[in-house]
Amino acid sequence: MHVTNLIRLTGLLLIVIKAIHEANNIMAKRQASEPLEVTYNDSPASKKVRLEDVPDRNGDTPDILGAAIELNEELGEAGAVEEVLDDEDTEQTPMKSRQKAPLEGYDNLYLDSINRGSMDFDFEKLCSVTLSNINVYACLVCGKYYQGRGPKSQAYFHALEVGHHVYINMETKKVYVLPEGYEVQSKSLEDIKFVVDPWLPKEEVLRLDKEPKTAWDLLGRKYNPGFVGMNNIKANDYFNTVIQALAHVTPLRNFFMLEHLTSKPQLAQRFSTLVRKIWNPRAFKSHVSPHELLQEVSQRSAKRFTLAEQADPVDFLSWFLNNLHASLGGSKTKPGSSIVQKVFQGSLKIESQQITARADAGDRLRFEDAAVQTEISRFMILTLDLPAAPLFQDELDRNIIPQVPLSAVLSKYDGIHAQERLNTRVRYRLLHPLPPFLLLHVKRFSKNKFVAERNPTIVTFPVRSLDMSPYVEPNPAIYPPGEPIWYDLVANITHEAVRSREDSVEGEAEKKVWRVQLRDKAREEWVEVQDLYVEKASAETIFTKEAYVMVWERRKVEKKKK
Ligand SMILES: [Zn+2]
């Protein structure tokens, strides 16, 4: 058949299909309006995700499965499911016009219409019509997501309706031309496939902290891979700081950049994708959006951590590490059973003594100490208490912010200083071996009966060479006594209280602003990130902010050669 005839015939066919589709579409839209709510409310993770989540989600289980089945049925009624599910390489399609390959000389026909600037693959992969996340394609012209590519699928309709012809499957990263249906094999699409799911070769990952890299995004903006802004969608700055800090813990980062986690739950997969995007040297834009991971966290945490409401970074960090550990198949009882515990977990000795008061012969009160009880406990985050901030300051002292050295607040763990808790005296001491990374939480916020209080005391520290040996019980079998144990700071999450309004008076509700300072090891520089803002910071002034969560890396001791 002559080519022009074929095109004409295809054109006619398209008009017919379009008419059928429009009728269908009215139905589909009406159908979709109901499942829309169902899906959104329990966050539209796939059926696959829901099933693997079942053991973790106790009470919710029947609802979730119910909703999944319901959703499936609704989609089925809308005529989408059967197409969608066996859409992948269906050969018995009713459309005779489907092509396996482009007509000769036409293989780059639509590639010029691709618009890289419209692409944002950071958002959760949900069809913009059905809200399903099964078999989702991104339109490479307008960037929107559509389900399926078979006839009657949403991507197919979009191609007919709007005339956008090139689509990428978000799972397989194969690119197709619709409505024709053939796969495009072109080297010119490799950059797009890389942005969807960036994987760096091992040698490159291992060099990230050694060789400084500079890159440029599509708009020609310069950025340093690994030190990019993160979108604050509404109130997720607390979340951003934690993810940024963890993405700079070298062994954890390398694990998530190199391991293929397709058999693991979405939480681990989506964290891996985000870490790889933060370090992407060929990104289209010089910032990332945490939307996909946030959606999964929101669902898994039963909305304890969402993008709409600020939460406490340390609460989130603790929740996230435990859930990430579980996602990787880590054991609840066996220590060191995932990369998370291998990197952060240590142990400490807790000695507790009951304090009892008893009248002696002379009727005076005498305090007696009961026997000491010793317990060994594991930790991932160490909490540091601040000395009480002075309540009243005179006029002159108003601007003096109390300071305390880090070594002083760490003395909580030296086994000598005791804490009094109700009628119990407690002593803590860290045990060898200390973890490769220490997470320290400076406890600034407390709640009494009436108000949440904040302690603004500044903790002072050098960013290098923190000696942890005074807080560890000597154990010559593991570590030579008297030798220092050096740690260097790699990330520091800080808090700032900002007045909510220009003219607000003192004591009026303050807004919390979370930032993170990150060490750029390749440049030996510090970088401060607040959501989308990335700027250089000075190592000398890092401690002047209200440190909240610190990440310290144990320095590797070079083995002496004999
Ligand atoms: Zn489009």
- Given a cut of 60, whether residue 41 has pLDDT beyond it is no
pTM of the model: 0.80
Cα 138 to averaged position of ligand 1 atoms, centre (Å): 8
Alpha-carbon distance of 164 to 156, in angstroms, equals 9
DSSP letters for 351-390: EEEEEEEEE-TTS-EEEEE---EEEEEEESEEEEEPPPPP
- The whole-number average pLDDT for the span 245-252 is 98
- The whole-number average pLDDT for the span 308-331 is 97
- What's the burial of 83, exposed, middle or buried (CB within 10 Å: 0-12/13-18/19+)? buried
Cα 163 to averaged position of ligand 1 atoms, centre (Å): 8
Q: Picking from 276-285, 387-396, 531-540, which range would have the lowest pLDDT averaged per residue?
A: 387-396
Cα 186 to averaged position of ligand 1 atoms, centre (Å): 20
More confident residue, 556 or 254: 254
Among candidate residues 542, 512, 517, the one with its CA nearest the CA of residue 527: 517
Residues 510, 499 contacting (CB under 8 angstroms): yes
- What is the per-residue pLDDT for 299? 97
Cα 128 to averaged position of ligand 1 atoms, centre (Å): 11
- Given a cut of 50, whether residue 537 has pLDDT beyond it is yes
Cα 115 to averaged position of ligand 1 atoms, centre (Å): 10
432-443: per-residue pLDDT in tens? 999 999 999 999
Cα 4 to averaged position of ligand 1 atoms, centre (Å): 26
Tell me the pLDDT band of 301, cut-offs 50, 70 and 90.
very high
Cα 113 to averaged position of ligand 1 atoms, centre (Å): 10
Cα 166 to averaged position of ligand 1 atoms, centre (Å): 8
Cα 121 to averaged position of ligand 1 atoms, centre (Å): 14
Cα 299 to averaged position of ligand 1 atoms, centre (Å): 29
- What is the per-residue pLDDT for 8? 55
Residues with CB under 5 A from ligand 1 (ion): 139, 141-142, 164
Cα 272 to averaged position of ligand 1 atoms, centre (Å): 28
Cα 75 to averaged position of ligand 1 atoms, centre (Å): 22
Angle, vertex CA 336, rays to CA 332 and CA 339, nearest 5: 105
- What is the per-residue pLDDT for 71? 40
User: Looking at the DSSP assignment, which residues form a beta bridge with residue 223?
Assistant: 215
Please write down the HEC assignment for all residues of 261-276.
Answer: CCCCCHHHHHHHHHHH
Residues 512, 495 contacting (CB under 8 angstroms): yes
- Given a cut of 50, whether residue 93 has pLDDT beyond it is no
Average pLDDT, the chain: 82
β-strand pairing of 182-183 with 373-379: unpaired
User: Looking at the DSSP assignment, which residues form a beta bridge with residue 365?
Assistant: 359
46-58: per-residue pLDDT in tens? 333 333 333 333 3
Cα 120 to averaged position of ligand 1 atoms, centre (Å): 13
- Given a cut of 60, whether residue 90 has pLDDT beyond it is no
Cα 160 to averaged position of ligand 1 atoms, centre (Å): 10
Cα 431 to averaged position of ligand 1 atoms, centre (Å): 58
- Given a cut of 80, whether residue 521 has pLDDT beyond it is yes
- Given a cut of 70, whether residue 211 has pLDDT beyond it is yes
Alpha-carbon distance of 306 to 297, in angstroms, equals 7
Cα 241 to averaged position of ligand 1 atoms, centre (Å): 34
Q: Picking from 77-91, 204-218, 243-257, 267-281, which range would have the lowest pLDDT averaged per residue?
A: 77-91
- Given a cut of 80, whether residue 363 has pLDDT beyond it is no
Alpha-carbon distance of 205 to 196, in angstroms, equals 18
Cα 2 to averaged position of ligand 1 atoms, centre (Å): 30
- Given a cut of 60, whether residue 33 has pLDDT beyond it is no
Q: What is the CA 180 to chain-centroid distance, rounded?
A: 38
Cα 116 to averaged position of ligand 1 atoms, centre (Å): 12
Cα 147 to averaged position of ligand 1 atoms, centre (Å): 12
Phi and psi based region of residue 152 (left: phi greater than 0; alpha: psi -120 to 50; beta: remaining)? left
425-434: per-residue pLDDT in tens? 899 999 999 9
Cα 169 to averaged position of ligand 1 atoms, centre (Å): 14
- Given a cut of 70, whether residue 88 has pLDDT beyond it is no
- The whole-number average pLDDT for the span 255-265 is 97
Cα 292 to averaged position of ligand 1 atoms, centre (Å): 21
Cα 144 to averaged position of ligand 1 atoms, centre (Å): 6
Q: Picking from 218-222, 324-328, 365-369, 494-498, which range would have the lowest pLDDT averaged per residue?
A: 365-369
Q: What angle, 0 to 180 degrees and rounded to 10, lies between the N-to-C axes of helices 154-162 and 3-41?
A: 130
Cα 125 to averaged position of ligand 1 atoms, centre (Å): 15
Cα 303 to averaged position of ligand 1 atoms, centre (Å): 32
Cα 158 to averaged position of ligand 1 atoms, centre (Å): 7
Provide the 8-state DSSP code for 472.
B
Residue % of the chain over a pLDDT of 70: 75
Cα 47 to averaged position of ligand 1 atoms, centre (Å): 26
Among candidate residues 153, 274, 242, 258, the one with its CA nearest the CA of residue 441: 242
Cα 164 to averaged position of ligand 1 atoms, centre (Å): 5
Cα 153 to averaged position of ligand 1 atoms, centre (Å): 14
- Given a cut of 70, whether residue 531 has pLDDT beyond it is yes
Cα 72 to averaged position of ligand 1 atoms, centre (Å): 25
- The whole-number average pLDDT for the span 124-147 is 95
59-74: per-residue pLDDT in tens? 333 333 334 333 433 3
- The whole-number average pLDDT for the span 2-9 is 52
Pure H helices in 42-125: 47-53, 61-77, 81-85
- Given a cut of 80, whether residue 285 has pLDDT beyond it is yes
Cα 482 to averaged position of ligand 1 atoms, centre (Å): 66
Alpha-carbon distance of 310 to 225, in angstroms, equals 27
Residue % of the chain over a pLDDT of 90: 64
143-168: per-residue pLDDT in tens? 999 999 999 999 999 999 999 999 99
Cα 141 to averaged position of ligand 1 atoms, centre (Å): 5
More confident residue, 103 or 477: 477
- What is the per-residue pLDDT for 74? 38
DSSP letters for 422-459: TTEEEEEEEESSPPSEEEEEEE-EEE-SS-EEE--PEE
β-strand pairing of 486-499 with 546-554: antiparallel
Tokens 């029947």 correspond to 62
CA distances 558 to 489, 555, 561, Å, are 19, 9, 9
The answer, yes or no, to whether the previous bond of 179 is cis (omega within 30 of 0) is: yes
- What is the per-residue pLDDT for 43? 39
Cα 14 to averaged position of ligand 1 atoms, centre (Å): 17
